Amino acid sequence: MNIIEIINKKRLKQTLTDDEIKYVIDNYLSGEIKDYQMSSLLMAILLNDMTNEEIYSLTKYMAESGDKLDLSSLGDNVVDKHSTGGVGDKTTLIIAPIVASCGVKVAKMSGRGLGHTGGTIDKLESIPGFTVNLTEEDFLNQVNEIGVAITSQTENIAIADKKIYALRDVTGTVESIPLIASSIMSKKIALGAKKLVLDVKVGNGALIKNIDDAKRLSNLMIDIGKHNNIEVICVLTNMNIPLGNNIGNSLEVEEAIDILKNHKLGSLRDLCIELSSHMVSLGLKITYEEAKERVLNNLDNGEAYNKFVELVTKQHGDINNLPKATGKYEIKSMTKGYLIDIDAYKLGILSMNLGAGRKNKEDKIDYSAGIIVKKNINDYINEGDVIMTLYTNKEITEIDNTIFKISDKKIEDNKLIYEIIK
C-alpha cells in the first residue's frame, strides 16, 4: 500500500477501503505522506467525491487522530453549534451568550478563517487580550462556572483535521462535501458533543452553493451523528447575501454587540434567534416555542449581553479598545433603484484583499480591516448614496462594480431559512 496507488485509485473514481483511509491519515500525521501528496488526494476527492462508507471511515480516523474530550462532567444540557461558513457569519459570538444565559451550557471549539469566509477565532482575537487558547481543564471549568467558553481547536484534538483544514484553505479544496462533513463531524466527535445544531449555509457566499448539496451535506452529518450517538439538527440558511452588514473581524464583533444589546433588527438577529431557540430546546428538552420565548426575553432584559461581557472578561478580552483601520473609503452608487442582490462571495474576496482574511496559511490578518454594507436588500438607493464603506490599512486600487445589483423593482423571494432537517 502506498500513497501514489491511493491517489490514482481516487483519481480513477474508485472506492478507497477503510484500511487505505487509515493508512492515509496515519502516514500524513507521521510525515511519511507529504503536503503535496495529500493536496493531490484532496483534489481527487473534490473532483470525484466519496461514498458514505468512505466518509464514515475518514471521519472516524480524523476523530481518532488525537485526544478526545469528555464532557460528561458538564451534565446533559450541553449543546454545540457549528456553521459551515459564510461571509459576515458572526453568529457564534451572538448565539453562545444567548444560549448560555438561558441555562444551556455551550462548550465551543472554533476555527480560523477558511478561504473568503471568516473564522470565529479570528474575530475573537480581534478583541485585545482575548485568550483563544484555553487548556482542557480551564475550558471545562469555565463552562461549569459561567455556562460558556470558546476556544481554538487544540493541538491534540482531531490533529489530522487541523492539518488537513489548513491545507484545504490554500489548495482550492475547501468546497468538497465529503471533506466538509468529515472535518466538522470529526471535531464534534472528538469534542464529546451529544447535541448539535448545524447552520448549513447555502449560496454564492458559502462553501455550499445549492440546496441539493446542502441537503446531502445535512443528511450526511445527521447520519454520522447517529453512528456516534450525537443528536443533530441542520438549519439550511441563505448565504446569497452577507449575514448582517459588517464583514471583517473587529467590525463583526461590533455588530454582534449591537445585536446582543438589542439595538439592531434584521436577518442576522432573526437567524441567531432561530438557531439559539433550537439549541435551548435541545438542551432543556422543551418545545421550540418555549425556547424561543426564553431567548427573546434574554435579549430584551439584557441577560444575553451581560453573558457576552462575562465571557469576554473571563477570557481576558477588552471590548472597549477594538482595533480601527487608518483608511476609510466610501463607495457610492452610480445609479438609482432597489437593491436586489449583494454578491456575498465577491464581498468576501474584497474583504480578504483589504487584509481581513488569508490568501496563504502563513498570512497575518489585519483585525481592523473590513467592510460595512450600508444598504440592505430591497432598500431604495439614490445615485450618490454611500452603498458600502471600506476599512483598511492598505491602498485601494480597484473595486468590483458588480458586487451590487440595482433594479427598478423589488425582489419577492428573500427567504432566510430554507429548511430544517432532523
DSSP 193-215: -SEEEEEEEESTTBS--SHHHHH
CATH 3.40.1030.10 in the chain, residue ranges: 72-156+164-320
235 or 175: which leads in pLDDT: 235
Output the pLDDT for position 41.
98
Task: Calculate the CA 3 to chain-centre distance.
Answer: 31
Q: Quick one: average pLDDT of 227-255?
A: 92
Q: What is the pLDDT of residue 166?
A: 83
Q: Is the pLDDT of residue 228 over 80?
A: yes
In this prediction, residue 275 carries a pLDDT of: 97
Band of residue 83 on the pLDDT scale cut at 50, 70, 90: confident
User: Does the pLDDT at position 290 exceed 70?
Assistant: yes
CA distances from 378 to 61, 339, 409 (A): 47, 5, 8
Residue 113: is its pLDDT beyond 80?
Answer: no
The predicted model gives 238-264 an average pLDDT of: 91
User: Under 8 Å CB-to-CB from 259, ≥6 apart: which residues?
Assistant: 94, 244, 268, 269, 272
Return the pLDDT at 204. 78
pLDDT at residue 115 greater than cutoff 60 = no
**Active-site positions?**
82, 161, 168, 183, 187
Domain with CATH 3.90.1170.30 in the chain: 324-407
149 pairs with which residues across the strands?
107
Whole-number pLDDT of residue 117: 60
pLDDT tier at 396, thresholds 50, 70, 90? confident
Does residue 81 surpass a pLDDT of 80? Answer: yes
Least confident piece of the model among 141-145, 221-225, 237-241 = 237-241
In this predicted model, what pLDDT tens digit does every residue of 260-282 receive, in sequence order? 999 999 989 999 999 999 999 99
Query: Over 90: is that where the pLDDT of 362 sits?
Result: no
Residue 91's pLDDT is 92
Give the integer Cα–Cα distance in Å for 75 and 104.
10
Chain mean pLDDT for the chain: 92
Whether residue 383 has pLDDT greater than 90: yes
User: How far is 79 from 231, CA to CA, in rounded Å?
Assistant: 10
84 closest CA partner among 199, 219, 237, 210? 199
Is the pLDDT confidence value at 413 over 70?
Answer: no
Q: Is the pLDDT of residue 116 over 80?
A: no
pTM beyond 0.85: the answer is yes
What is the arithmetic mean of pLDDT over 186-194? Answer: 92
Q: What is the mean pLDDT of residues 291-318?
A: 98
Which CATH number does the domain 3-48 belong to among 3.40.50.300, 3.30.565.10, 1.20.970.10, 3.40.640.10?
1.20.970.10
pLDDT, tens only, 133-161? 998 899 999 999 999 999 987 778 899 99
3 state SS of 357: coil
Helices 303-314 & 136-146 angle (0-180, nearest 10): 150
pLDDT at 114 over 60: no
% of the chain exceeding 70 in pLDDT: 98
Lowest mean pLDDT of 242-246, 262-266, 322-326, name the range: 242-246
pLDDT surpasses 80 at 40? yes
CATH of the domain spanning 324-407, picked from 3.40.720.10, 3.90.1170.30, 3.30.200.20, 1.10.10.410: 3.90.1170.30
For position 241, what pLDDT does the model report?
74
* From-to residues of CATH 1.20.970.10 in the chain: 3-48
Say which CATH topology domain 72-156+164-320 has: Pyrimidine Nucleoside Phosphorylase; Chain A, domain 2 (3.40.1030)
DSSP state of 67: B
Span 70-77, average pLDDT: 91
CA dihedral (331, 334, 338, 342) positive or negative: negative
Rounded to whole angstroms, the Cα distance separating 166 from 321 reads: 30
pLDDT of residue 361: 65
Residue 3 CA: distances (Å) to CA of 23, 146, 160, 248, 314: 8, 47, 16, 39, 46
Q: What is the mean pLDDT of residues 372-378?
A: 93
pLDDT band at 86 (very low <50, low <70, confident <90, very high): confident
